Structure 1
């Protein structure tokens, strides 16, 4: 080998080795797991107003499937859990700004969101349903019939439910709500014809208002995979969280959480 070529080869090896060293060092220091371990605190963003996934009890203490899942994760990491409560539209901006380590808040994994952040999961499969006082709306098997100027729908602001109305029922009037309590109140007071939300929200509303004449399309007409949102590019945290969720599935702990919060209504008496 000529001296010039040998020298060039050695230079490339050194550059590659240096790049790998910087990459490995950057990966280790940039992982959210390191920050979490050093601080001893896992910061999880949640809306705390999306029952039965996340809400507060009569004492103002957060509870729900998402809250329990966050507690499991913090426990497995050996750190304290700090729930950061923000309006749903502010959760992903908070994640991107580094204000929280992850978001667990009934958030559907969508291509648009996945372009900005990473998702582990899904940890639960949901779907959209209608909550209304009009049986004719829930007996219709053709969603295109709901696309009419005669209808007004409400949905949570910045949610996939709102996007569904805008995409599939563009002729209808959409009135967004800050939280589900406000949205259900619009239905109860006849300000809108129906609430579009995840099916378990509609089921919960039926249980909470048994004498208000509410009906719901219980069978979800969309596929909604709910995931844990994390900063983009953090492979270690993604790997850890994915493996943790797999362990919860295999041990049936995830199933137990779903039974506790979605199928068993005994916690309703604690709801604020």
Structure 2
């Protein structure tokens, strides 16, 4: 009886060990592997984008590099289209999503999110022919207008939510959307405020007008699989640490106050 009881305990202990391994979080897996794999779409200036050498750089990328160093692992950026980020995470192609992703109620049903690392909002870039005609998002809600948006983003969702009557065109990259307005093929482009602010600073977009006041409130965060609370907990403590020790402010100033990096970006 005692032997049988001890055997049962041993079997139970082994089962618990295996269950613990299988339930390990994404960051635990990354530490064992020595590499943190992050899904990203490098088209969101200044969060993740490619420089002239083809390297992926940006504010969020620097945060991820700092996170990887804190974990003691290498960072591997896995590039996928924005619409493939959530499916790629579910298919275990990467450990987490780091791609300027806004926390929405719909996405939060499919993912766990870390605390937000920045809050942005949607703004509007306008063709100069709309000068004096459009001063708010509501003024664009007319059937004669053509609105460009970035496919699969909260900018597209917000535009379609606020505007019922214009014609919409969705583009794979925000650069394409902006170009449509510059060339007069669209009346307006709707996207996140940080991107639009930097787009306005580019010489080729100098003729554009801007409605600078954001009309939405959008926290950006890192996305992980549902139930991965250990990884969420670690990332939240990491974000708090870099906020307190000055690292966050240093990176924020580098990408949002300085403009030297713009010369190195495509």
TM over 0.5: same fold? yes
> Any gaps of 5 or more consecutive residues in structure 2?
1-7
> Where does residue 164 of structure 2 map in the other structure?
170
Aligned residues, how many?
A: 254
- Could you report, residue by residue, the CA deviation over 1:204-244 in whole angstroms, capped at 9, with x for unpaired residues? 11111366311111221210100101111111111111111
> Where does residue 267 of structure 1 map in the other structure?
261
Q: 2:19 aligns with which of 17, 26, 29?
A: 26
4+ long deviations beyond 6 Å: none
Once the 2 structures are TM-superposed, how far is the Cα of residue 56 of structure 1 from its aligned partner?
0.5
8 Å CA contact 2:122, 2:193 repeated in 1: yes
8 Å CA contact 1:138, 1:215 repeated in 2: no
> Where does residue 71 of structure 1 map in the other structure?
65
Superposition pairs for residues 185-264 of structure 1, below 5 Å? 185-209=179-203, 212-264=206-258
Q: 2:113 aligns with which of 113, 119, 130?
A: 119
Q: Distance in 2 between matches of 1:64 and 1:170?
A: 34
Distance 1:28 1:162, change over 3 A: same
Q: Distance in 1 between matches of 2:36 and 2:134?
A: 42
Q: Distance in 2 between matches of 1:79 and 1:216?
A: 42
Distance 1:270 1:145, change over 3 A: same
> Where does residue 89 of structure 1 map in the other structure?
83
Q: Distance in 1 between matches of 2:249 and 2:124?
A: 25
- Could you report, residue by residue, the CA deviation over 1:6-55 in whole angstroms, capped at 9, with x for unpaired residues? xxxxxxxx99xx6x996775344322123211211000111111111110
TM-score (norm 1): 0.88
TM-score (norm 2): 0.89
8 Å CA contact 2:199, 2:205 repeated in 1: no
Distance 1:211 1:91, change over 3 A: closer
How big is the alpha-carbon RMSD for the aligned residues of Structure 1 and Structure 2?
2.0
8 Å CA contact 1:162, 1:174 repeated in 2: no
Q: Distance in 2 between matches of 1:138 and 1:51?
A: 26
Distance 1:211 1:45, change over 3 A: closer
